[in-house]
């Protein structure tokens, strides 16, 4: 059944970490209005584009002057990356609703409002692009890991100019700042000696220099060295010829855009602290997010003086910047700050294994990898997370919404895609890609004009929250909506209006996503969509090895442990087979029916070990007729006491069973039964 069409709509572009791009459409909202972050609206109105950089404007508030549709309706169009690239960049939207998307592997795409690819660009040997570009005056500006700044014509995708300003840039997610014919970004210069001697990996390098270029020709304007390293650099400007940025410890800097002159230094001074948060500017205030002893800290400063105005200690780590604007349920004319908090997800199990044990053979690590996909809670601990809102002016709590704890080893999509990406990097088909996205617990939030906050998290879900009844308590049944993209997020969403007609069918609430191999998958993706057919063979091989080890094991405790391991491997194997044969109903039914029988065979205990010298009656009590031969080499004639052995020279080879005589009866002790003897 088709839903009604809208002749004027608003589009929300969603980007999952790995390889998907989706656009949502719905009713149009109002434009800029008094009391709703007027400075942000003016900043938007002064731009020729709807979402030209990370967080939508130079102040990085994340506020759009348009109301967004309900995300539960699902996407109006979807694009799947054939290259399986990692994507950490937010989509950028120009004034004609074209969408620009950048991947870590150095590919840049331009999409039409309907999702058609208009042009593509590859950075070639100039390096990867893990950060977020920016749009300015008809040009897309991007920074590569080799220290190149690229200027691409937005109409054609051709290079206008490219200049190398540093030997390297960080492999984190830095954001390009572009305003007033000036580009500001962070690089690595000089390159750390530890990296040059091989004691530090490429992904451990952090930026240590801020650089400004002319947007016209790439000529250098100034350089600035902060007190400590930079991570996920993101400069913000109130539009007065100055900019503010944050270092990894939570320290703040305000510089003049024209010459890089430092106006003030404020914020946290402890160099040992670390956060991937960033600063945001709004209404004469600067908001920073950092961590102190693994606890998040939100602090606000006066833009003119750098004086601390207020701060709030958060219950969970904080690693993303805030969004600032009017929230539903808040007093009219009062702005709020909102952010997501929580522990960052870890590495996939197979990555952790090789990080600690480089020698581990693949036939051991791979089945454990499959088991972590099938039983993720056995390999992880609960990671609490929440979305919180405060008064921008006073820091008073607006509301606090605690989400269900994240209970997986890594962010959604990381473990499932890791091996394919590693293989493509190793065989040279996608060498500039990154095997992992490594997102934070959540992406930076964004706000629409209706006061709805959108926060994507590491579980692959987008959470849309609005306190409609203004009671300061978020009701998950009526005030929270979600959409499961299936992959974790690093960059924020992009918001824009739409003038195209938008029609949706009702089944898009659970959209079908077409993967690169043309097989249809329901979103969220299944745990096993990245599995290969040899997965079942690997599990079976290790299962047989475990059986062999258990076969000769001694001791009850060890036997029990071996049995449990075999059961887990069999369960994983059966689940893998079900996935492999999911198109064949009969095979799937047979596998499911075999599962109880398989587990029963494994769980039935082997015969109890008999006391020394004792055997079952059927094996030991031999009828004693007069002429009965008991065993080769022994005979009985008459009474038992007349039993005579053969002469020594004719005694046959000893029988494999041990025999002894007790009370005139020959007792025969069988060999010890092994674990799986029938």
Q: Note the CATH number of domain 71-193+201-346+381-503.
A: 2.130.10.10
Model confidence band, residue 17 (pLDDT cutoffs 50, 70, 90): low
pLDDT tens-digit readout, 488-497: 988 889 999 8
Q: Residue 26: is its pLDDT beyond 70?
A: no
93-102, 282-291, 303-312, 375-384: least confident range: 375-384
CA-nearest of 72, 55, 70, 51 to 9 is 70
Q: Tell me what pLDDT residue 252 has.
A: 96
Q: Higher pLDDT residue, 388 or 315? A: 388
Please provide the DSSP assignment of 95-148 as one string.
TT--EEEE-TTSEEEEE-TTS-EEEEEE-GGG----SB-EEETTEEEEE-TTSE
Give dist(CA 466, CA 483) in Å, integer. 15
Give the chain's mean pLDDT.
Answer: 77
Cβ distance 209 to 189 under 8 Å?
Answer: yes
pLDDT tens-digit readout, 317-329: 999 999 999 999 9
pLDDT tens-digit readout, 288-340: 999 988 899 999 999 999 999 999 999 899 999 999 999 999 998 899 999 99
pLDDT tens-digit readout, 57-70: 999 999 999 998 88
Please provide the DSSP assignment of 501-540 as one string.
-B--BGGGGS-EEE-TTS-EEESSPPTTTT--THHHHHHH
Residue 452's φ and ψ, nearest 5 degrees, are -90, 135
pLDDT tens-digit readout, 177-207: 999 999 999 999 998 888 788 777 777 889 9
Mean local confidence (pLDDT), 508-514? 27
Helices (H), ranges, 187-341: 193-196
Domain boundaries, the chain: 71-193+201-346+381-503
Count Cβ atoms within 10 A of the Cβ of residue 532 and give its class: 0-12 exposed, 13-18 middle, 19 or more buried.
middle
Q: Tell me what pLDDT residue 197 has.
A: 80
Give dist(CA 316, CA 310) in Å, integer. 18
Burial 179-207 (b: 16+ CB within 10 A, else e): beebbbbbbbbeebeeeeeeeeeeeebbb
Q: Higher pLDDT residue, 5 or 100? A: 100
Q: Higher pLDDT residue, 483 or 629? A: 483
3-state secondary structure 302-369: ECCCCCEEEEEECCCCCCCCCEEECCCCCCCCCCEEEEEEECCCECCHHHHHHHHCCCCCHHHHHHHH
Q: Tell me what pLDDT residue 498 has.
A: 67
Q: Tell me what pLDDT residue 572 has.
A: 61
Cβ distance 337 to 392 under 8 Å?
Answer: yes
pLDDT tens-digit readout, 563-609: 666 666 666 655 655 554 444 444 455 555 555 555 555 455 544 44
pTM over 0.85: no
253-267, 293-307, 619-633: least confident range: 619-633
pLDDT tens-digit readout, 401-421: 999 999 999 999 999 999 999
Q: Residue 21: is its pLDDT beyond 80?
A: no
Q: Tell me what pLDDT residue 670 has.
A: 52
Q: Residue 245: is its pLDDT beyond 90?
A: yes
Please provide the DSSP assignment of 447-508 as one string.
E-TTS-EEEEBTTSEEEEE--TT-SS---TTTSEEEEE-SS---SPPEEEEE-S-B--BGGG
Q: Tell me what pLDDT residue 578 has.
A: 55
Beta-carbon count within 10 A of 92 CB? 28
């Amino acid at each position: 059944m088709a839903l009604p069409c809208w002749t004027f709509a608003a589009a929300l572009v969603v980007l999952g970490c790995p390889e998907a791009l989706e656009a949502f459409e719905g009713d149009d909202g109002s434009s800029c209005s008094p009391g709703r972050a007027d400075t942000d609206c003016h900043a938007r109105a002064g731009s020729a584009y709807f979402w030209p950089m990370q967080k939508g404007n130079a102040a990085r508030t994340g506020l759009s002057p348009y109301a967004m549709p309900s995300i539960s309706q699902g996407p109006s169009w979807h694009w799947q990356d054939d290259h399986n690239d990692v994507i950490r960049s937010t989509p950028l939207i120009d004034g004609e609703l074209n969408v620009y998307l950048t991947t870590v592997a150095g590919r840049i795409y331009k999409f039409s409002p309907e999702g058609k690819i208009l042009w593509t660009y590859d950075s070639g040997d100039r390096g990867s692009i893990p950060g977020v570009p920016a749009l300015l005056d008809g040009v897309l500006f991007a920074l590569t890991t080799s220290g190149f700044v690229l200027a691409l014509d937005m109409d054609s995708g051709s290079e206008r100019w490219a200049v190398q300003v540093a030997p390297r840039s960080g492999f984190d997610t830095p954001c390009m700042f572009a305003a007033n014919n000036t580009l500001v970004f962070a690089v690595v210069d000089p390159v750390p000696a530890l990296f040059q001697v091989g004691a530090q990996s490429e992904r451990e390098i952090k930026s240590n220099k801020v650089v400004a270029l002319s947007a016209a020709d790439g000529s250098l304007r100034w350089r600035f060295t902060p007190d400590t390293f930079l991570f996920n650099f993101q400069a913000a400007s109130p539009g007065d010829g100055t900019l503010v940025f944050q270092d990894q410890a939570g320290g703040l800097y305000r510089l003049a855009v024209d010459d890089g002159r430092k106006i003030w230094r404020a914020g946290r001074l402890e160099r040992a602290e670390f956060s991937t948060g960033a600063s945001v500017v709004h209404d004469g205030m600067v908001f920073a997010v950092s961590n102190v002893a693994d606890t998040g800290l939100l602090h606000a400063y006066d833009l003119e003086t750098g004086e601390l105005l207020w701060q709030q200690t958060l219950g969970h780590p904080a690693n993303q910047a805030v969004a600032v604007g009017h929230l539903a349920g808040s007093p009219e004319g009062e702005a709020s700050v909102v952010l997501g908090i929580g522990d960052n997800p870890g590495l996939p199990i197979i990555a952790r294994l090789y990080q600690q044990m480089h020698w581990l053979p693949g036939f051991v690590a791979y089945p454990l990898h499959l088991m972590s996909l099938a039983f993720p809670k056995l390999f992880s601990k609960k990671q609490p997370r929440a979305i919180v809102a405060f008064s921008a002016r006073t820091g008073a709590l607006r509301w606090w919404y605690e989400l269900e704890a994240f209970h997986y080893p890594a962010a959604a999509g990381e473990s499932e895609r890791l091996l394919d990406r590693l293989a493509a990097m190793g065989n040279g088909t996608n060498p500039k890609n990154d095997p992992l996205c490594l997102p934070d617990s959540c992406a930076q939030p964004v706000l629409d004009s209706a006061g709805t906050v959108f926060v994507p998290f590491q579980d692959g879900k987008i959470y849309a929250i609005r306190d409609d009844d203004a009671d300061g308590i978020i009701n998950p049944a009526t005030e929270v909506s979600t959409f499961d993209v299936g992959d974790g997020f690093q960059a924020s969403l992009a918001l824009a209006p739409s003038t195209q007609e938008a029609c949706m069918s009702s089944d898009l609430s659970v959209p079908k996503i077409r993967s690169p191999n043309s097989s249809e998958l329901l979103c969220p993706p299944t745990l096993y969509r990245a599995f290969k057919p040899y997965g079942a063979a690997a599990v079976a091989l290790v299962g047989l090895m475990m059986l062999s080890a258990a076969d000769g094991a001694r001791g009850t405790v060890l036997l029990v442990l071996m049995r449990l391991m075999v059961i887990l491997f069999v369960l994983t194997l059966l689940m893998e087979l079900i996935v492999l044969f999911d198109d064949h109903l009969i095979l799937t039914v047979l596998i499911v029916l075999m599962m109880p029988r398989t587990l029963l065979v494994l769980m039935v205990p082997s015969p109890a070990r008999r006391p020394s010298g004792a055997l079952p009656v059927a094996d030991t009590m031999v009828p004693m007729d007069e002429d009965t031969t008991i065993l080769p080499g022994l005979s009985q004639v008459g009474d038992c006491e007349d039993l005579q052995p053969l002469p020594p020279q004719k005694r046959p080879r000893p029988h494999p069973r041990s025999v002894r005589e007790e009370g005139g009866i020959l007792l025969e002790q069988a060999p010890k039964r092994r674990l799986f003897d029938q």
